[in-house]
Structure 1
């Protein structure tokens, strides 16, 4: 592979913003890829994939390159050199690549790969936490979380034309395969930018991982019900709930962030989901008005997001131990408060995209032992682990309230 100067420089600029300015990787790349209209799909793919690769392996590459944060521009080129060398790419004779220890890179890689925190490129505290919570399983899980995530679509059943989606995608050069047990899921055989297709613009599908699609299925909303998605965000699961309800009944999508709910409204219009009402949680009154008013409630709780590190590799550098303590407390508070909206005889699903027991089954067990959970019982729970499923790490528990 021949390296092109403008693509390499765009990658270095992106890394500077992510590492030194603490900006989100996906937002940085979204802007970077708009920089030059002459770039084709292959050029954009190089920038995005290389940037994500270096972000994912930051600790390992920095140790090999013998550089420390904050990374100045020469340090970023040293990280790039490590990436290129380990991927068998010849380093060009540019001034930026002078004084880089290319001869020592592979030897250092072999040496450091014997130590898990370097091999999997994670902070010390996260490695210790994973081992503490998952024991011997941590090795397999953190390894799986460093793999590139598959692209999975959810076919929108509200659009009758979407039945032809798989064939239409094939005609456009995008091959997909079905996923057993998930009737609306299609996995891309090769990565592709599906957002530019007419089918996406017409609302025939959403991009949603297979694990995430299982959450609404477990909730099992039926047409005519009143269902509350209490932590809706931008509404990936809300849209799935609306589709399962065939646009009949009411879906109340709630969140503390109004801008996320505005994005949900836009997505709902594209999807043809007409039974969704959004409500911003700006006071306790919003919850009080809905006490015992919902047939089903989904609490897709904020969490560490460790189950989706494959998609957000920069998250492991932003996470801090104190955040975990705060988020556990928030999860408990949400269970205590939002569970009140479930009618007698109704059901609640608690879900996270984390693989840590302290955020998952231990949270549910603690809730059931408190006064707030005394009327609930656990019906079933599912842990989806990346190493065995190949998909995102998720936890979901179905709880039933006494009639």
Structure 2
């Protein structure tokens, strides 16, 4: 691989924005890709993937570069040099690479392989917490979470079938793989901008990780039901519910953020999902009005996001232990409050994209201990190490009385 000056400078500028100005990695990548409309697919891929890789391995590269976690422009160049050397890229004759200690970089890399928090590039507190909660399994999970996430599509069965989608994408020179464990999923063979395709504009698919696609199915919905998606956000799972319900019945999509529900409306229109009613949660009254009214309730709870680090490596550095302590209290409150919307004989799913038992099965156990009229039907833990996709947890709970 040959390094091109304008692409490398864009990467350096983006890393400066992420490390020093608090810009989120996805926003920095988005801005970087708009910089030069003449860039081809290969250039865009280099910029996006290099930024994400250096963010993902920030601690490891920082340790090898001996930059002491200070991200001056000079130090960012040193970190970039480590990235390039470890990938076997020939360094060009630029002043930034003068006297680059290539042998020392490789030697230091070998030295740190026995220290998990450096080798896997994670903060001390995260390593301690996850090791405490997951034991030896943490080794496997963090290794899996450091592998770049595949791009997974969900065929929108309101508009097409998976087979038709596969053929339509092939016609646009996008090759996909079928995984029999996920009935509507297609996995891209190589990363491409699928949002520019005619099939996307026609509403034939959504981009949604394979693990996330399991959640709506877990809720056991049927056409004609009244379903409430309590933390709908921009509606990835809401749209899946609409497809599973064949547009029959009603889905009330609730969220505290009006902007996200506006995005959901736009997506629903493209997907041809007509049975969705967006509703902003402005106070507890909005929940009380729906007491005992739903056949199914989905609680896709706010969480640490530790199961989705492979697609959001930035979270390793933005997340703080206090946030996790806080979010666990919010999860318990949401489960307690939103469960009241389920009618007798109805069911709810509590789901998170976390791999921590304290956010998952322990929350459900506490809820069931205080609410004897609910009963656990089944639960599922999705391990990134075993599945190759995001880490998720879901519990199906039925209201008996």
Output the TM-score relative to the length of structure 1: 0.98
Counterpart position of 1:391: 389
Counterpart position of 2:351: 351
**Partner SS state of residue 183, structure 2:** strand
Q: Is the 8 A contact 1:65 1:101 kept in 2?
A: no
Counterpart position of 1:227: 227
Measure how far apart 1:295 and its partner are. Answer: 0.5
Measure how far apart 1:194 and its partner are. Answer: 1.0
Note the alpha carbon deviations across 1:62-112, whole angstroms, 9 max, x for none: 000011334011111111000000000011111222354333100000001
Note the alpha carbon deviations across 1:194-213, whole angstroms, 9 max, x for none: 11111111110001111100
Mapping for residues 246-325 of structure 1, pairs under 5 Å: 246-325=246-325
Note the alpha carbon deviations across 1:351-397, whole angstroms, 9 max, x for none: 00000000000000011011xx2210000000000111111100000
**Partner SS state of residue 296, structure 2:** strand
Distance 1:84 1:315 in 2: 23
Q: Does 1:71 align with 2:71?
A: yes
Mapping for residues 4-403 of structure 1, pairs under 5 Å: 4-160=4-160, 163-370=163-370, 373-403=371-401
Q: Is the 8 A contact 2:177 2:187 kept in 1?
A: yes
Q: Which moved more, 1:166-175 or 1:137-146?
A: 166-175
Instruction: Give runs of ≥4 in structure 1 deviating > 4 Å.
Output: none
The answer for unaligned runs of 5 or more in structure 2 is none
Note the alpha carbon deviations across 1:329-357, whole angstroms, 9 max, x for none: 00000000000000111000000000000
Note the alpha carbon deviations across 1:28-56, whole angstroms, 9 max, x for none: 11111011011000000000011111000
Q: Is the 8 A contact 2:162 2:186 kept in 1?
A: no
Distance 2:91 2:129 in 1: 38
Q: Is the 8 A contact 2:159 2:271 kept in 1?
A: yes
Q: Is the 8 A contact 1:308 1:354 kept in 2?
A: yes
Distance 1:251 1:98 in 2: 61
**Partner SS state of residue 302, structure 1:** coil
**Partner SS state of residue 311, structure 2:** coil
Distance 1:192 1:99 in 2: 37
Q: Is the 8 A contact 1:297 1:347 kept in 2?
A: yes
**Partner SS state of residue 153, structure 1:** strand
Note the alpha carbon deviations across 1:138-159, whole angstroms, 9 max, x for none: 1000000000111111000111
Distance 2:242 2:225 in 1: 10
Distance 1:71 1:297 in 2: 46
Distance 1:396 1:309 in 2: 18
Q: Is the 8 A contact 2:384 2:391 kept in 1?
A: yes
Q: Is the 8 A contact 1:162 1:204 kept in 2?
A: no
Measure how far apart 1:162 and its partner are. Answer: 6.5
**Partner SS state of residue 184, structure 2:** strand
Q: Is the 8 A contact 2:162 2:184 kept in 1?
A: no
Note the alpha carbon deviations across 1:107-151, whole angstroms, 9 max, x for none: 000001111001100000000011100001010000000001111
Q: Is the 8 A contact 1:376 1:400 kept in 2?
A: yes
The count of corresponding residues between Structure 1 and Structure 2 is: 401
Distance 2:149 2:182 in 1: 18
Distance 1:100 1:279 in 2: 57
**Partner SS state of residue 183, structure 1:** coil
Distance 1:119 1:162 in 2: 39
Q: Do the aligned partners of residues 161 and 215 (structure 1) sit closer, same or farther apart at CA in structure 2, a change above 3 Å counting?
A: closer
Measure how far apart 1:161 and its partner are. Answer: 7.0
Distance 1:190 1:36 in 2: 23
Distance 1:339 1:224 in 2: 21
Distance 1:198 1:329 in 2: 44
Measure how far apart 1:163 and its partner are. Answer: 5.0
RMSD after superposition: 1.1
